[in-house]
A and B are shown apart, each in its own frame.
Chain A
Amino acid sequence: MAKKDKTDVSFMKSLFAGVIDQETIFPYPKLPQDEQENLDMILQAWNEFAKDAVDSPQIDRDKKIPKEVLQGMAELGFFGLSIPEQYGGAGLSETAYCRVFEEVCNYDASLAVTLGAHASIGTNGLLLYGTEKQKQKYLPKLASGEWIAAFALTEPGAGSDAAGIQSKAVLNDKKTHFILNGGKMWISNGSISDLWTVFAKTDVIEDGVIKEKISAFLVEAKWPGCSAGKPEDKFGIRGSDTTALNFDNVQVPVENLLGPLGKGFKVAMETLNVGRLGLAAGNVGGCKLLTQMAADYAKNRKQFGQSIAEFEIIKDKIANMAADAYAAESMVYLTSALADRHTVDYSLESAISKVFASEALWRAANEAMQIAGGNGYSTEYPFGQIVRDARINLIFEGTNEILRAFTALAGMQGPGEYLKKIGKALRDPIKGFGLLTEFAVQKVRDVVTKDTLKNIAPELKEQAERFNDFADELQSNVEKVLMKYGKEIIHHEFIQQRIANMAIDLYGMAAVISRVDSKIKDSKSVEQEMPLVQLYCDAAWRRVRREARQIENNLDKQRRQACDLIYNSKQIPFDVFHE
């Protein structure tokens, strides 16, 4: 579990400054044997249970997870996965939690979302910022599954822009309670949960001036004035409970303030850092499962007198799916291990993992359905449900657009400070990314020589060289755009996106190289994964190169013009029949 005070180690933030902090990600992490054994047994218990109890199409049809399933999971201890043993949980590391979560996703996405909303974002605020008293009061109930948790940040007017929160908590005259009013929406577990981590505006006095700042509260669903709306009818993850929440003069005891007054953003962002990683792990599971399902389908499907698996057009898809899955897995479990070190800032790596894994999953779902053809489109086959279930991952816990902006801006903050020109302006690029200031690049890069990965196994020579070249390219482009745009970079999302995309694939390459290099140095054969490594790394550096080239040489002007054209017309302003 991440701690509040991080040191300033961050692999990706260093990379933005041209420093390859190799020792942070080499060798590729491994769970201690003891924990690995526990994990294997937990996975086995889960598989035995889930095979008997979880019927994903049924959950989708009924838009409901059967009580017995949740109860069964609670009895097995799945509601307390990452809660420390002293509070009745299993005390799993983030890595082990992610692996378990992956396996839960393999059975049903609604179930995984329900579990994640509880065990990850629903509980992590309390774990990170709760007082001992708060922990003792709530964690045992959450660990046993007697209580279910939910994370309540989003509001009708505050989606990606969390700063737009309108819910307000006002301290009463006796200073015993905050009176909470307002509402939330899209809250996973809304109507089935008992404890909500709620974010609301509070009055904070700073320098003698009253300012409205967000604070976090632990709110019990049973308190008078708390209510949940009707479950939303969703496109996917239909079995997960998503509702609005309403607060009508809810009296929240002051001891239920979570974290310091006015520091709610920090609570929310830290919680989401961890949450995203779990999500990414779930997506990895989905990628692997879909690759297998698509391959099985292709092997069994005969057309033109042979199994369609033999066709190169199918092989192309399967190979890409497998390479993506391999890279996503490499990224997620490198990041989870960074989180488990408690001393590393992994916010960028977590956002990157979520973006890459959710998009890899989406491509995989799309390709798997394509491979299954007409059958894939029939509800008799599982592919349609998977497509629907997978789609949410691009949206929730930070849309991928917001996470790209975050990756680029938070990444550029270090070099920004290094450049001593615009550091301050970058400190709060988007309200809500309040954590940016914690990082400062430790090593000041030698501007003359390019930093490189050292002592990489010869099998990975080409991949390492590409990584070195494009890491350098990232740094020089970051410098270039910072010089060019200054603090205005905040408004240049075309550029941000390109920088972020470079960062995403560079992290992917770094993770894959670390993983394979470590295996080689453990004297293990890497023969079977080398094609995946080569496929991913080749595609990755080509994407990075394309993004880099487009930073200067692009059609952004035409993009703006095209949008103006559409925005300024009531109807699409072209029609081939009336020209």
Chain B
Amino acid sequence: MKIAILLKQVPVKDATLKVNGDGLWIDEDNVTFEINESDHYGLEEALRLKEKHDGEVVVVTMGPERVKESIKQALAKGADRAIHINSSGYSNPDPIAHAKLLCAAIKDENFDLILSGLQSDDLGYGQTGVLVAEMLGMAHATLVMETDVQDGKIKVKRELEGGWFQSVELPLPAVLTIQSGLNQIRYATIKGIMAAKRKEIKEIAISDLGVSDADASGIQMHKIYLPVKTKQTVVLEGDTADIVSKLVDKLKNEAKVL
């Protein structure tokens, strides 16, 4: 089975971020990046499916030079090769444009299964997997919590809201977007890290993808900014006894639960 994992690199969860000069992105200096969480689970699921059914796992990433680090990490964990769409200098905020580029890079690969994370922790549109499915004419399922491939079909457990789940069956090829927590992510082994050096990373420039309207965007991002607090937050810190006495007072007089 030939599996693609669409993988994005995002700032680490606990990164302290600042908005950059043009107000449309973060200042990347001194920011550490990592594989987007749900994509990471997707990678793990891809590797597990490969271990069960044989085949190949291909990492597909779009991003500037720095994403190579995440690609190598994915290769170290066991992915077989990678396609890197180098997007240095490309700043279109439209997820549809992103999906077009991804599809252009993978359409000739004829994947049986394309996995992606549910949502990225940077722009967080949560659309890429679904868009790619529609563009490539493949069936899809989102919020996948379990996969089971058999006889050209894939059965998945999807998460619904409020603790409900759905079991659905799709024909292959298909696109799945993966919910975090469906498996346990493996650690890269040192052997894997050494082997990653010998694996192929195919780098493609955006201009080489033949997408004529790569720069077209149906949406415009005006600025990013710190949310304006709607609530007046009282900060308590310092001495524990002092915190507790103030807090009890508030629970009594403001929350009125005592």
Do A and B touch directly, given a CB cutoff of 8 Å in the complex?
A: yes
Q: Using a CB–CB distance below 8 Å, which chain A residues touch chain B? A: 34, 37-38, 40-42, 44-45, 48-49, 72, 75-78, 80-81, 85, 90-91, 302
What is the 8 Å Cβ interface bit string for chain B, positions 187-199, against chain A (1 contact, 0 not)? 1111101101100
- The 8 A CB mask of B26-56 against A (1 = contact, 0 = none) is 0000000000000000000000000000000
Q: What are 21 inter-chain pairs, A to B, with CB distance below 8 A?
A: A37-B69, A37-B72, A38-B193, A40-B69, A41-B188, A41-B193, A44-B73, A45-B76, A45-B189, A45-B193, A49-B187, A76-B187, A76-B188, A77-B189, A77-B190, A77-B191, A78-B190, A81-B190, A90-B191, A90-B194, A302-B239
B238 within 8 A of A: yes
When A34-B197, A302-B238 are in contact, do A45 and B191 touch as well, CB less than 8 Å? Answer: no
B194 touches A75 (CB 8 A): no
Q: In the complex, which residues of chain B have a beta carbon less than 8 angstroms from the beta carbon of A41? A: 72-73, 76, 188, 193, 196
Which of B69, B73, B194 gathers the greatest number of chain A CB atoms within 10 Å? B194
Question: Are B72 and A76 in contact, CB atoms less than 8 angstroms apart?
Answer: no
Chain A contacts for B238, CB-based, 8 A: 302
By a CB distance below 8 angstroms, the chain B residues around A44 are 73, 188
Which B residues contact A (CB, under 8 angstroms)?
Answer: 69, 72-73, 76, 187-191, 193-194, 196-197, 238-239
Q: Lowest 3 CB-CB distances: which A-B pairs, in order? A: A77-B190, A45-B188, A90-B190
Report B7 CB to chain A, min CB distance, Å: 16
Given A75-B189, A81-B190, 9 additional A-B pairs, CB 8 A: A34-B197, A38-B193, A44-B73, A45-B76, A45-B190, A72-B187, A85-B194, A90-B193, A302-B239
Residue of B nearest to A91 (CB): B194
Q: How far is the CA of A78 from the CA of B196 in the complex (A)?
A: 17
A48–B191 alpha-carbon span in the complex (Å) = 16
Q: Choose from A40, A42, A72 the contact partner of B190 (Cβ within 8 Å).
A: A42
Q: Which residues of A contact B72 (CB under 8 A)?
A: 37, 41
Chain B's closest residue to A88 (CB) is: B191
Please give, as numbers and ranges, the residues of chain B lying within 8 Å of A85 by CB-CB distance.
Answer: 194
CB-nearest residue of chain B to A100: B190
- For B189, the chain A residues whose CB sits under 8 A away are 45, 75-77
Q: Do B187 and A48 have beta carbons less than 8 Å apart?
A: yes
Chain A residues with CB below 8 A from B197, complex form:
34, 38
Contacts of A49 in B (CB 8 A): 187
A104 to chain B, nearest CB (A): 13
A contacts with B: majority SS: helix
Main secondary structure of the interface of B (DSSP, over half): helix
Cα distance A491–B189 when bound, in Å?
51
The reply to whether A45 and B194 contact each other, CB–CB distance below 8 Å, is no
Least CB distance from B90 to A in Å reads 25
| Docked CA distance A81–B190 (Å) | 8
- The CA-CA distance from A525 to B112 in the complex, in Å, is 51
Which residues of B sit under 8 angstroms from A78, Cβ to Cβ? Answer: 190
- Do B188 and A80 have beta carbons less than 8 Å apart? no
Expressed in whole angstroms, the minimum distance between the Cβ of B191 and any Cβ of chain A is 5
Nearest B residue (CB) for A38: B193
- Residues in chain A near residue B73, CB distance under 8 A: 41, 44
Complex-state Cα separation, A27 to B72, whole angstroms: 30
Contacts of A42 in B (CB 8 A): 190, 193
Partner of B187, one of A38, A45, A302: A45
A320 and B201 CA atoms in complex are apart in Å by 46
**Cβ contacts under 8 Å, A40 to chain B:** 69
Closest B residue to A52 using CB positions: B187
A85 and chain B: residue at smallest CB distance: B194
A300 → B minimal CB distance (Å): 9
Distance between B53 CB and nearest chain A CB, rounded to angstroms:
23
Residues from chain B with a CB closer than 8 A to the CB of A80 are 190
Residue of A at shortest CB range from B190? A77
B43–chain A nearest beta-carbon distance, Å: 14
Q: Which residues of B contact A34 (CB under 8 A)?
A: 197
In the complex, what distance in Å separates the CA atom of A37 from the CA atom of B193?
A: 9
Q: Please, which residues of chain B bring their CB within 8 A of the CB of A72?
A: 187
Which residues from chain A contact B196 at a C-beta distance below 8 Å?
41
Complex CA distance for A296 and B242, rounded to whole angstroms = 22
Please indicate the chain B residues that have their CB under 8 angstroms from the CB of A302 in the complex. Answer: 238-239
Question: Nearest chain B CB to A197's CB is how many angstroms away?
Answer: 23
In the assembled complex, the CB of A563 is this many whole angstroms from the nearest CB of chain B, namely 51
Kindly report which residue of chain B lies nearest to residue A47, judged by CB atoms. Answer: B187
Chain B hits for A77, CB < 8 A: 189-191
In the bound complex, CA of A120 to CA of B163 (Å): 51
| CB neighbours of B76 from chain A (8 A) | 41, 45
Distance A232 CA – B193 CA, assembled complex (angstroms)? 37
A266 to B126, CA, bound (A): 64
Bound-state CA distance A40–B33 (Å) is 13
CA–CA, A42 to B77, complex, Å?
11
Which chain A residues lie closer than 8 Å to B193 at the CB level?
Answer: 38, 41-42, 45, 90
Which residues does chain B contribute within 8 Å of A90, judged by CB atoms?
A: 190-191, 193-194
B29 to chain A, nearest CB (A): 13
Q: Which residues of B are found within 8 Å of A76, using beta-carbon distances?
A: 187-190
Residue among B69, B73, B193 facing the most chain A CB atoms (10 A cut-off): B193
A85 to B198, CA, bound (A): 14
User: Bound complex: CA of A85 vs CA of B194, how far in Å?
Assistant: 9
A80 to B189, CA, bound (A): 11
